[in-house]
Structure 1
Amino acid sequence: MSIWWSLHLRREAASVPLARRLLLGTMETAGVDPDISYDLSVALSEACANAVEHGGVTTDGSPQAYRVTAYLDGEKCHIEVTDSGPGFTAPHRAPRPASFDAEDGRGLCLINELADHVQIGNKPDRGGAVVSFDKILKWRKDAPLMAV
């Protein structure tokens, strides 16, 4: 069983729950374990929030769009969020936990904790950030689309 979808979203806060709900609905319909679905939805929300905050603007000052792509393929889910902002300014290492009283800076650390494999970097062609992550899926016993 494979499911694939891609969204092209405006860099607005309202786009984050839209992406999260689509992911949760897809995984519920497929029969993915709710705990795995929740972890991935939180990780996706953090990646989208980063794209909304840092994704860049057009020449007229309006927000650019960002893209979310998700693949449920066999036993794994792969999610990628790309934007057209300035990208990461330095080679990106594993996220460090933010200080206890920090107002921001926890998103990439959360993604790293919730996913099995995380890649953070820049798009090689036009600039912009890429955050992608994978998680091994677990299935409900009654899963209608469970991988075999």
Structure 2
Amino acid sequence: MSIWWSLHLRREAASVPLARRLLIGAMETAGVDPEISYDLSVALGEACANAVEHGGTVTAVGPSEAYRVTAYLDGEKCRIEVADSGPGLSARARDIRPAHPDAEHGRGLCLIRELADHVHIGRPGRGGTVVSFDKILKWRKDAPLLAV
């Protein structure tokens, strides 16, 4: 069985825990192992925090106020995408590197890379950034949506 959901969220700090809670709730209901759910929720939180902080642009009608989160649970894998309409990351910034030990920012993408099995950072043709990451799922023995 597969499920997916998509959210359009305001670029506000309060949207980050909302997205995390929705993901954890969906995964708990589906029967995903709690440790996997937690790892993905932390990675989602980091991607959402980046979209909130860096994901806006000023357009002809004003500042971009939203970003999108999409989650797919399909069989043995979960894919999460966080897309914003900001200026986008440079090629150098998309190359995930460890932050300097004294840096106050810059650890989010590294954390996502450590928590997920595969990470891709793209810049769609119309601008913005899409951070997508996958993780192989483990299921509880009593999982109602267990992949067969």
Question: What TM bracket, shorter-length normalisation?
Answer: over 0.9
**1:90 CA displacement:** 2.5
Match of 1:48 in 2: 48
Counterpart AA for 2:75: G
**1:95 CA displacement:** 1.2
Counterpart AA for 1:144: P
Q: Find the aligned partners of 1:108 and 1:114 in 2 and give their Cα distance.
A: 10
Match of 1:146 in 2: 146
Match of 1:30 in 2: 30
Match of 2:78 in 1: 77
Match of 2:121 in 1: 120
Q: Find the aligned partners of 2:10 and 2:106 in 1 and give their Cα distance.
A: 22
**1:10 CA displacement:** 0.5
Alignment check: 8 A CA contact 1:92 1:121 kept = no
Match of 2:129 in 1: 129
SS at match of 1:46: helix
Q: Find the aligned partners of 1:61 and 1:101 in 2 and give their Cα distance.
A: 35
**1:58 CA displacement:** 3.7
Alignment check: 8 A CA contact 1:64 1:84 kept = no
SS at match of 1:26: helix
Residues 106-130 of structure 1: CA distance to partner in whole angstroms, max 9, x if unpaired? 0000001100010012012x20001
- RMSD of aligned Cα (Å): 1.4
Deviates more, 1:84-93 or 1:11-20: 84-93
Alignment check: 8 A CA contact 1:10 1:63 kept = no
Q: Find the aligned partners of 1:27 and 1:57 in 2 and give their Cα distance.
A: 32
**1:98 CA displacement:** 1.1
Unaligned runs of 5+ residues in structure 1 are: none
Report the number of matched residues.
Answer: 147
TM-score if structure 2 supplies the norm length? Answer: 0.94
Identity over aligned pairs, percent = 81
**1:100 CA displacement:** 1.9
Alignment check: 8 A CA contact 2:64 2:85 kept = no
Unaligned runs of 5+ residues in structure 2 are: none
Match of 1:7 in 2: 7
Residues 74-127 of structure 1: CA distance to partner in whole angstroms, max 9, x if unpaired? 000000000000001235554111122211100000001100010012012x20
TM-score if structure 1 supplies the norm length? Answer: 0.94
